[in-house]
Amino acid sequence: MPKMLIIADDLTGATDSAATCAEYGMETIVLLGDPPGDIAVPETAEALAIDANTRCLHAEDAAEITARIIRDYGASADRALLFKKVDSTLRGHLAAELAAALNARRAQISSDQRVVVVLAPAFPAQGRTTVRGRQMMRGKLLEDADSWPGEFVRGHSNIAEIMGEAGLICGLTELKTVRSGQQSLERAMFRLANTVDVIVCDAENEEDLQAIAASSMALGPKTVWAGSAGLARHMPCAAGVARASRSSDLAVRNHVIMPGPALFVVGSPARASREQARALAAAPNMETLTIQLSLLNDQSSRWRELARDVARTLQLGRDVLLTLEFSGQDGVKQPNQVARIIARIVKPCTDHVGALVATGGETARTVLDAWGVRRLRLLGEVEPGLPYSMTDQWSRDILVLTKAGGFGTPNTLLHCRNFIWTTEHNRRGIAEHDTVVENRKN
């Protein structure tokens, strides 16, 4: 039975919040299911992350799926920590899903102990902080920042107001309390737990999140922890489930064998992802193919031509960048059409890809669904917010890197390419790889 159960509303959330478990030596599995009743869970799995894939659903459906997953794992209520991953810019059905998680958890518990949510959505490594119960992005309130590009709504920073939409009562632990020492923070949390549903925690740095994780353990294992990958990375040590010191070497990758070139799929409209795609497109021997917006509603065969171009280029051994043409916010008005066209284009590439790099949770899920991948084995992180894994119980092993759309620096996708071609198992670096590609072309 897993020691930690993670539920996320998209695939990048599931992978980035669980990556630290793998780096601490825990066998970590990600399931792509809703709920995963038809996907086997290895008995040896110590951390289990589930992509509930609820980000684009209605709030009521998202809540029901969240509750159903928790009920399916009710036998582990007293043993497995429950972590509800939330977006660090508060996207998705935050209140509805947390209310569902809390109610389902309370229904599992027979004792008189009051069960609460400890919520710390900050992710300092990506510039997301929480101050006085308001969510910030690089020092600006969410509503003043470009936090939800292309979604035609502005972010809302007041966490208590968001929780109130689902009838949840919040209490706040401000920064001064978070930094007051473990015993003082524990007492503050105990006081709040008697009267509130959600304990909202301020945090500006890793030390704050570490203190929150450590002190909240005093509330007991029946607690519902909620946060971004920032809080998740401190949970294994705080809970005492980590099996080793966090790994900084590359030994875990030695068993990976690259069976082909890399496919980069950038489907996120986030400015960060578009900058990263431009930097990658300028790299040597990188073939860039663009999905034109007109294809989204096109009934002709033009998308088939693009699919053939992608597959043919991969067969030649060249890395491919597949990106969507963005003009302002055009195109993202039709997320379902985007997902369908991406699935059609990448499906024929299954046998030619050695590594997949996908930007945006819906994009990553779309590609893996098209290929029939239902399970991933997490191995670690390339950089904060950028986990890598291997397909598990699939037709063959390929390396999978997933990244939330707004994460990273302009060179993040270049780092991904370098990571893929210079790991210890793959001793020919990018230069040799590019030489092989040129020889094939000639």
Is residue 378 within 8 Å of 51, Cβ to Cβ?
A: no
- SS3 of residue 375 by DSSP: strand
Q: In whole angstroms, what is the distance from residue 376 CA to residue 371 CA?
A: 13
DSSP for 305-353 reads: HHHHHHHHHHHTT-EEEEEE--STTTTTT-HHHHHHHHHHHHGGGGGG-
For residue 188, the model assigns a pLDDT of 98
- pLDDT band for 334, please (50, 70, 90 cuts): low
For residue 302, the model assigns a pLDDT of 78
Q: Please give the residue that has the higher pLDDT: either 431 or 316.
A: 316
Mean pLDDT of 73-93: 83
Q: In whole angstroms, what is the distance from residue 349 CA to residue 135 CA?
A: 40
Q: For the segment 121-166, what is each residue's pLDDT rounded down to a tens digit?
A: 999 998 999 999 999 999 999 998 865 555 445 678 999 999 999 9
Topology, domain 255-441: Molybdenum Cofactor Biosythetic Enzyme; Chain A (3.40.980)
143 DSSP 8-state letter = G
Mean pLDDT of 252-272: 76
Structure-block tokens of residue 188: 């503050």
Q: Please give the residue that has the higher pLDDT: either 87 or 421.
A: 87
DSSP for 268-303 reads: ---HHHHHHHHHHHTSTTEEEEEE-GGGGG--SSHH
Q: Please give the residue that has the higher pLDDT: either 337 or 160.
A: 160
Q: For the segment 290-316, what is each residue's pLDDT rounded down to a tens digit?
A: 988 766 665 567 788 899 999 999 999
Q: In whole angstroms, what is the distance from residue 230 CA to residue 210 CA?
A: 9
Greatest mean pLDDT range, 4-18, 133-147, 244-258, 422-436: 4-18
Q: In whole angstroms, what is the distance from residue 277 CA to residue 380 CA?
A: 23
Beta bridge partners of 402: 358
Q: In whole angstroms, what is the distance from residue 406 CA to residue 127 CA?
A: 11
- C-alpha distances (whole Å) from 399 to each of 261, 266, 338, 416 are 10, 17, 24, 11
User: What are the φ/ψ torsions at residue 410 (nearest 5 degrees)?
Assistant: -60, -25
Structure-block tokens of residue 113: 């102990």
For residue 46, the model assigns a pLDDT of 93
Length of the chain, in residues: 442
DSSP for 63-125 reads: HHHHHHHHHHTGGGTTTSEEEEE--TT--SSHHHHHHHHHHHHHHH--SSPPP-EEEE--BGG
Greatest mean pLDDT range, 72-86, 191-205, 338-352: 191-205
Q: For the segment 374-392, what is each residue's pLDDT rounded down to a tens digit?
A: 999 999 888 888 999 999 9
Burial profile 32-61: b = 16 or more Cβ within 10 angstroms, e = fewer: bbbbbeeeeeeeebbbbbbbbbbbebebee
Strand 47-51 and strand 28-32: pairing? parallel
- C-alpha distances (whole Å) from 339 to each of 12, 325, 353, 368, 414 are 15, 14, 19, 11, 24
Strands (E), 212-252: 224-227
User: What are the φ/ψ torsions at residue 221 (nearest 5 degrees)?
Assistant: -70, -10
For residue 415, the model assigns a pLDDT of 94
Q: How confident is the prediction for the chain on average, in pLDDT?
A: 86
Q: What share of the chain has pLDDT > 70, as a percent?
A: 83
Topology, domain 4-239: Rossmann fold (3.40.50)
Mean pLDDT of 20-49: 83
First to last CA, the chain: 53
Q: In whole angstroms, what is the distance from residue 264 CA to residue 321 CA?
A: 5
- pLDDT band for 253, please (50, 70, 90 cuts): very low
Asked if pLDDT for residue 50 goes beyond 50, the answer is: yes
Mean pLDDT of 433-440: 46
For residue 331, the model assigns a pLDDT of 42
* Domain regions of the chain by residue span: 4-239, 255-441
Asked if pLDDT for residue 82 goes beyond 80, the answer is: yes
Which pTM was predicted? 0.89
